[in-house]
Amino acid sequence: MDQRPISAICPPEELLKAILDRSSDAIILLDSEGRIREWSASAARLWGRRRDDVLGRDAGSILGASEEVVIEDLPGGSTTQEFQRSDGATFRGAVETHPLYAHRDVVTGTLLRVQDLSETDRAHQLIQDRERSLHETLKALRRSHESLKSTQLQLIQAAKLESIGRLAAGVAHEVKNPLAILLTGVQLLARRLASADAETREVLADLEVAVKRANHVIRGLLDFAAATELQLEAIDPGEIVKGAVALLQHEMRSRHVRLDQQLQAAVPALSLDRTKIEQIVVNLMINAMDAMPEGGVLTVRASVRALSQSGHGVGFRRTDLLRVGQTVVAIEIEDTGTGIAPETLARAFVPFFTTKAAGKGTGLGLAVCRSIAELHRGVVWLENKPDGGTRATLCLPAGESERRAA
């Protein structure tokens, strides 16, 4: 921009020129044919063309506008356009057009005022870049927050389980010793009273069963407590399913349960505690068999998929362990039984809750399953299938465990 002082006593034309050259916006005057009649210093700077080189030339070829500059009928009309400089670079400009009239309705030329928007655009771009980077930072922060929250929950859970474990081990020791006295005592009496009346022998037999039942509960409690430490190894979950199936093959046959095994081939190996995951699968399979006293079909499925929000029945309380959309290995066990009553479903994972006959279940099976699943950062849940029967799903994070194994 021309910075020389303006002389107030110069001829009007020169004064006008001086004023035009001091405008930061480009001022361009066109004649009625669209030829350039005046070209301010800012226009020269913006387009990189000297005044002498453009005067009298067609504006269309000089301005390099992306579209034809529309001369608005109304004075003061403004649009945004892209222009090309003499060196080929482009810039955006806000264009104001003012038709010049000789007299009514006769346009003799046009005054163009073009404001260079390059700086504004650059600032805008900078803001956008900053916003994007802020957004990315925020996303990363959220991710690490989620991960921290999940770790914290896991630690709390582990601490809880550890204290339960200590408690259980203590209780087990204190209860098993008196049980040992009772069992040997009952067996001693049974031997001494081998020729006693039937009723006495029956009472003694019942006592022995009762002691063994109490011991079974304690064992369940120890199992529950033992679910605090994992012996991890890289293993194909499908192999674990096959192992569980092999264990229960005989049981299924004798209970007239037909097996439908659907194991996807491309299930990735995960870092798992083989024994404990097998314990979950066996447990869920036994529950499925128990749900079909007359026999039926037991479906076992293993597949890789993205975790969906829908269909999470009871048991999916720790949603923060897995995210929707996360890749998981799902092991599903379905029965063709009568399904689970809603009030039972709601309490299925509560320790010591059982619907099985006295002595048949400790009420710890599903609680143990949940603890083990959560230690693997997975989840296990139960739901009634729309077409009848129950589906138990164990979801194990695919990426998570792999990362941990690395």
Q: Which residues bind other proteins (CB under 8 A)?
A: 169, 172-173, 176-177, 179-185, 187-188, 191-192, 211-212, 215, 219, 222-223
Which C-beta is closer to other proteins: that of 212 or that of 258?
A: 212
| Minimum separation from the CB atom of position 301 to other proteins (A) | 28
Torsion angle, CA of 68/70/71/75, rounded to 10 degrees? -140
Which C-beta is closer to other proteins: that of 90 or that of 184?
A: 184
Torsion angle, CA of 167/168/172/175, rounded to 10 degrees? 60
Which C-beta is closer to other proteins: that of 244 or that of 302?
A: 244
| Minimum separation from the CB atom of position 225 to other proteins (A) | 11
Residue 160 has which token pair?
A: 């809880």
Cα–Cα distance between 216 and 16 in angstroms, integer?
105
| Minimum separation from the CB atom of position 173 to other proteins (A) | 5
DSSP type of residue 109:
E
| Minimum separation from the CB atom of position 183 to other proteins (A) | 4
Which C-beta is closer to other proteins: that of 215 or that of 384?
A: 215
| Minimum separation from the CB atom of position 188 to other proteins (A) | 5
C-alpha closest to that of 225 among 327, 351, 104, 76: 351
With 0-12 / 13-18 / 19 or more C-beta atoms within 10 angstroms meaning exposed / middle / buried, residue 265 is: exposed
Backbone angles phi, psi at 183, to 5 degrees: -65, -50
Cα–Cα distance between 147 and 155 in angstroms, integer?
12
C-alpha closest to that of 24 among 51, 54, 2: 2
Which C-beta is closer to other proteins: that of 111 or that of 210?
A: 210
| Minimum separation from the CB atom of position 185 to other proteins (A) | 5
Q: Checking DSSP bridges between strand 390-397 and strand 327-334, what pairing results, if any?
A: antiparallel
Which C-beta is closer to other proteins: that of 29 or that of 211?
A: 211
Sorted by sequence, the CB contacts under 8 Å of residue 122 that are 6+ apart come out as none
Which C-beta is closer to other proteins: that of 226 or that of 405?
A: 226
Cα–Cα distance between 133 and 144 in angstroms, integer?
16
Which C-beta is closer to other proteins: that of 159 or that of 180?
A: 180
| Minimum separation from the CB atom of position 365 to other proteins (A) | 14
Cα–Cα distance between 94 and 355 in angstroms, integer?
78
| Minimum separation from the CB atom of position 359 to other proteins (A) | 16
In one-letter notation, the amino acid at residue 4 is R
